[in-house]
Amino acid sequence: MRIYLVGGAVRDKLLGRAVTDHDHVVVGARPEDLLAQGYRPVGKDFPVFLHPDTAEEYALARTERKTGHGYHGFAFHADPSVTLEQDLARRDLTINAMAEADDGSLVDPFDGARDLDQRLLRHVSPAFVEDPVRLLRVARFAARFAPLGFRVAPETMTLMQQMVRAGEVDHLVPERVWQETRKALGEAQPSAFLRVLRESAALAVLFPEIDALYGVPQRAEFHPEVDTGVHVEMVLDMAARLAPGNDLVGFCALTHDLGKALTPSDVLPRHVGHEHAGVAPLRTLAARLKVPTEFAALAEQVCREHLNAHRAFELKPATVLRLLSSLDALRRPERLQVFLAACEADKRGRLGHADDDYPQAAYLLQAQQAAAAVHAEPYVAQGLQGPAIGEALAAARVAAIAAVRQSFT
């Protein structure tokens, strides 16, 4: 029995990145061999075990054979005769198909180390086309490693385009699309996720609401980048800069301008009412991908209210209170934090505006704090009852917000 460290741990060690997950492949063993040593079985489709002390994953070397469409259309074979190279051959990218032996030596049958040096995301074998999830994974790895200069190898992009034409992407289950998308939205450069999907033609299949934004013009005096799709890419990357790793902010950024794809051509490049028009396609996208409720709800708030955030200083204090209440921000201030991060990303995700100030965020945060500090007890003590308490509470909160507004003038 021989044990190797494999996959992302080896890749990240070579890149000098922090290693968080340690996965291992066991060659020359049977399930009973690991069970006898105290390993705990967890794999449903193939033999995967947890180490009795570290709880790290140890999988028996295996091969796979395509039996149908989609992610689940595979049959797996694991026994002591399967070699390490055969196990590595079933992986998606060469940079993920390396192993490290106990003595620290590198096992690299597909030149993954070379591709790391050349900053290439390249498929291991033609079997890449058999699993549509790999297309999403390549796009996600592009989002992670784009800041290091990584790009998709031309021959791999050709295979991805073939997969889309063959309809393989149509068989992706919503849960897996969302899982990979959510991870990509938490990466360092999420715009690369969109660009890879778009170049492969998968964006139009998986995210038609996003794909429709490309080529839609905006007013150049407000959006020097002009193209709405490019703007969304810039907003995504600004969101990653403002809230690193926050996929909720990322999803709000991704979907905030969906209404611009619905603007009639005779109105362009103006987008009057786009914030309200975007709610319907956002709900369609969220339902199709089974997006978690909190993601869908906050994204809808950003879509509908981001312009109000931008013009916060122009809003009446009573309108600011209604905005805060619609976010449930008086009880859940963390929702306001997400909302403002997405709105600031929108404002600064424009060509030449990346370093702009966004004082609206500080104002709305202080307005929330001032309003939340007003409680009902004094009005109850005064003898007010029923609706009168609510009216007095609202008036006091409006006054508190007005005082905050004065401090910003």
DSSP string, 333-378: HHHHHHHHHHHHHHHHSSTT-TT---HHHHHHHHHHHHHHT--SHH
**Is the link from the previous residue into 378 a cis peptide, with omega within 30 of 0?**
no
pLDDT of residue 74: 52
- Nearest residue to 252 (alpha-carbon basis) of 292, 208, 201: 292
- For 182, the token pair is 């959510």
Read out DSSP for 267-321?
TTT--TTHHHHTHHHHHHHHHHHT--HHHHHHHHHHHHHHHHHHTGGGS-HHHHH
Which letter, b or e, does each residue of 243-260 get, where b requires 16 or more Cβ atoms within 10 Å of its Cβ?
beebbbbbbbbbbbbbbb
The radius of gyration of the chain's CA atoms, rounded to the nearest angstrom, is 26
How does pLDDT run across 292-348, given as a tens digit for each residue?
999 999 999 999 999 999 999 999 999 999 999 999 999 999 999 999 999 999 999
Could you say which residues of the chain have pLDDT below 70?
45, 65-76
CA 156/CA 165 separation, integer angstroms? 14
Q: Residue 27's beta-bridge partner residues?
A: 2
- What 8-state DSSP symbol labels residue 249? H
Other CB atoms closer than 10 Å to residue 279's CB: what's the count?
17
pLDDT of residue 68: 54
Identify the residue whose tokens are 């708030």: 301
3 state DSSP class of 189: coil
Query: For the chain, how are helix, strand and coil distributed in percent, rounded to 5?
Result: 55, 10, 35
Backbone angles phi, psi at 48, to 5 degrees: -125, 140
- For 300, the token pair is 């809808």
pLDDT of residue 133: 95
Other CB atoms closer than 10 Å to residue 7's CB: what's the count?
22
Read out DSSP for 132-161?
THHHHHHHHHHHHHGGGT-EE-HHHHHHHH
**In degrees to the nearest 10, what's the CA dihedral of 338, 342, 343, 344?**
100
- Nearest residue to 360 (alpha-carbon basis) of 385, 343, 381: 343
Q: How far is CA 186 from CA 256, 354, 408, in A?
A: 17, 19, 33
Superfamily of domain 1-115: Beta Polymerase, domain 2 (3.30.460.10)
pLDDT of residue 20: 85
CA 106/CA 91 separation, integer angstroms? 17
Backbone angles phi, psi at 219, to 5 degrees: -65, 120
Number of residues written out for the chain: 409
What lies within 8 Å, CB to CB, of 55 at 6+ separation is: none
Terminal Cα distance for the chain, rounded? 73
pLDDT of residue 65: 66
**Are residues 132 and 165 in contact, defined by beta-carbon separation less than 8 angstroms?**
no
pLDDT of residue 75: 60
- What 8-state DSSP symbol labels residue 17? P
